């Protein structure tokens, strides 16, 4: 089975069209400004900032404004523009990016002041918009994966890892074999560049580790067998060509099938159930999650829904909030609480913990 190709959505195509015009946009999104900001951001954040900066610069261009001409009223109009077109959390992020870009302009002495500094941002809802699966739904999602192929083994390990650790898809895509290790007698995954470019340690439960190890072992076996096969075939053809070509092809085969500790933990698959040494992309992970959600009869899911599921299920199992916060890589516990999707639980409610006995009987 060939891994689905990540096709660009109409929205993504539109974004690409905007980004392609970046060279002609106002200096608020200039390479100099973005480069200075990039040094303060993680790789994922840089992509987001570049997109949001381009949207802001495109809006400025449509209004025939330059950064020097921006006023408080203009920035209020941009806030209204975002509010009309984007979900609240996205609009809040994009306005924050615009504000930070203008602050960078001030720092570089291109602007005297930031016209957005005193404008009220967006109040984000107390609850995350993402879906949180129940234990039964999470199990149904995993049960939908056929594990009798290397693709199925990889996908089962991937989705189980996302559900049991709550890591972000970008973090999962960036993991290498070397990031799996032992600490304090436990299996862990080292997130080298999490959100905000923070490094953190994620515990990997034994059953999850076993699935990861099974998938990695299957890959190693495939590459060893495939290398031996291709080298044997090449040896038979050795006398038909030049020695230089033979050595070149031999080196290419060895390179293609010699796994290294720097290889991705989750790799792309070619048609015919052939694992490569190239890591999965964020988009590929998103597509696999959506595919198995459909197979399981669940509504469309994203990797972030699995993150919300991990947080909700952990809190429902009475894991302390501060431990869930650390596992999720949140700076603020209030962010973690936003992911708790089933706050009203009448079977395990706060009122059940307060009891008062009646001391006086009514008089007749």
Spatial distance between the Cα atoms of 95 and 67, rounded to a whole number of angstroms = 15
Together in a domain, 194 and 283 = yes
Together in a domain, 144 and 291 = yes
Q: How far is CA 110 from CA 54, 102, 113, 119, in A?
A: 19, 9, 9, 20
Per residue in 287-297, pLDDT (tens digit) is 999 999 999 99
Copy the structure tokens of residue 135: 């234990």
Together in a domain, 146 and 277 = yes
Judge whether residue 44 has pLDDT over 70.
no
Q: What is the pLDDT of residue 188?
A: 95
Q: What is the pLDDT of residue 108?
A: 82
Residue 316 included in any domain: no
pLDDT band at residue 237 using 50, 70 and 90 as cut-offs: confident
Beta bridge partners of 201: 190
Among all chains, which residue has been given the structure tokens 């001030």?
Answer: 106
28-37, 260-269, 353-362: least confidently modelled range: 28-37
Residue 48 included in any domain: yes
Q: What is the pLDDT of residue 177?
A: 97
Q: Which domain does 75 fall in, by range?
A: 10-107
Together in a domain, 189 and 82 = no
Together in a domain, 97 and 185 = no
**Number of domains observed in the structure of the chain:** 2
Spatial distance between the Cα atoms of 121 and 94, rounded to a whole number of angstroms = 10
Together in a domain, 280 and 200 = yes
- Select from 243, 273, 295 the last residue of a domain: 295
76-80, 236-240, 267-271: least confidently modelled range: 236-240
Per residue in 49-71, pLDDT (tens digit) is 788 888 998 898 889 988 888 89
CATH number for the domain spanning 213: value is: 1.10.443.10
Residue 226 included in any domain: yes
Beta strand 267-270 with 274-279 is antiparallel
Q: Do the beta carbons of residue 303 and residue 162 sit within 8 Å?
A: yes
Together in a domain, 254 and 150 = yes
Together in a domain, 71 and 202 = no
Residue 157 included in any domain: yes
Q: What is the pLDDT of residue 343?
A: 56
Query: What value does the mean pLDDT take over residues 116-133?
Result: 75
Degrees (nearest 5) of the Cα angle 47, 74, 94? 20
Spatial distance between the Cα atoms of 346 and 352, rounded to a whole number of angstroms = 9
Q: What is the pLDDT of residue 30?
A: 53
10-14, 143-147, 287-291, 303-307: least confidently modelled range: 10-14
Residue 362 included in any domain: no
Together in a domain, 236 and 273 = yes
Judge whether residue 206 has pLDDT over 80.
yes
H or E element that contains 102: helix 88-107
Query: What value does the mean pLDDT take over residues 100-121?
Result: 87
Residue 203 included in any domain: yes
H or E element that contains 213: helix 206-236
Together in a domain, 158 and 196 = yes
Together in a domain, 174 and 98 = no
Together in a domain, 207 and 86 = no
Q: What is the pLDDT of residue 220?
A: 96
Percent of the chain exceeding pLDDT 70 equals: 78
Who contacts 233 (Cβ-Cβ below 8 Å, separation ≥6)? none
Residue 307 included in any domain: no
Judge whether residue 25 has pLDDT over 90.
no
- Select from 295, 311, 342 the last residue of a domain: 295
From the DSSP assignment, how many helices (H) and strands (E) are in the chain?
Answer: 14, 5
Residue 26 included in any domain: yes
Instruction: Report the SS3 class of residue 182.
Output: strand
Copy the structure tokens of residue 172: 């999962």
pLDDT band at residue 355 using 50, 70 and 90 as cut-offs: low
- Select from 244, 270, 295 the last residue of a domain: 295
Query: What value does the mean pLDDT take over residues 321-344?
Result: 76
Q: What is the pLDDT of residue 11?
A: 37
Alpha-carbon 63 to chain mean position = 34
């Amino acid at each position: 089975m060939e891994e689905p190709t990540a096709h660009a959505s109409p929205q993504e195509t539109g974004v690409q069209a905007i980004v392609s015009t970046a060279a002609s946009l106002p200096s608020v999104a200039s390479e100099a400004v973005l480069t200075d900001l990039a040094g303060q951001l993680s790789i994922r954040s840089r992509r987001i900032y570049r997109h949001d900066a381009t949207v802001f610069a495109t809006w400025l261009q449509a209004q025939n404004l330059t950064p020097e001409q921006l006023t408080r009223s203009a920035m209020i109009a941009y806030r209204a523009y975002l509010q009309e077109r984007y979900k609240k959390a996205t609009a809040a992020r994009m306005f924050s990016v615009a504000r930070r870009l203008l602050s960078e302009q001030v720092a570089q002495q291109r602007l005297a002041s930031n016209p957005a500094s005193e404008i009220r941002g967006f109040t984000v809802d107390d609850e995350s918009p993402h879906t949180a699966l129940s234990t039964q739904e999470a199990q149904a999602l995993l049960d939908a994966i056929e594990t009798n192929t290397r693709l199925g083994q990889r996908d089962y390990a991937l989705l189980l890892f996302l559900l049991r650790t709550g890591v972000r898809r970008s973090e999962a895509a960036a993991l290498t074999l070397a990031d799996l290790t032992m600490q304090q007698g436990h299996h862990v995954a080292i997130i080298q560049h999490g959100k905000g470019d923070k490094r953190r340690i994620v515990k990997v439960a034994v059953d999850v580790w076993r699935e990861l190890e099974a998938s990695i072992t299957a890959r190693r076996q495939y590459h060893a067998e495939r290398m031996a096969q291709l080298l044997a075939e090449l040896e038979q053809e050795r006398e038909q060509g030049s020695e230089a070509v033979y050595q070149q092809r031999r080196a290419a085969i060895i390179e293609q099938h010699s796994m290294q500790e720097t290889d991705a933990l989750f790799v792309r698959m070619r048609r015919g159930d052939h694992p490569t040494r190239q890591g999965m992309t964020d988009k590929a992970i998103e597509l696999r999650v959506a595919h198995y959600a459909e197979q399981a009869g669940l509504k469309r899911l994203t990797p972030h829904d699995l993150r919300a599921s991990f947080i909700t299920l952990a809190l429902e199992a009475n894991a302390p909030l501060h431990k869930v916060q650390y596992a999720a890589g949140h700076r603020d516990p209030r962010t973690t609480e936003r992911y708790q999707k089933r706050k009203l639980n009448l079977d395990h409610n706060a009122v059940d913990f307060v009891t008062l006995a009646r001391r006086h009987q009514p008089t007749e």
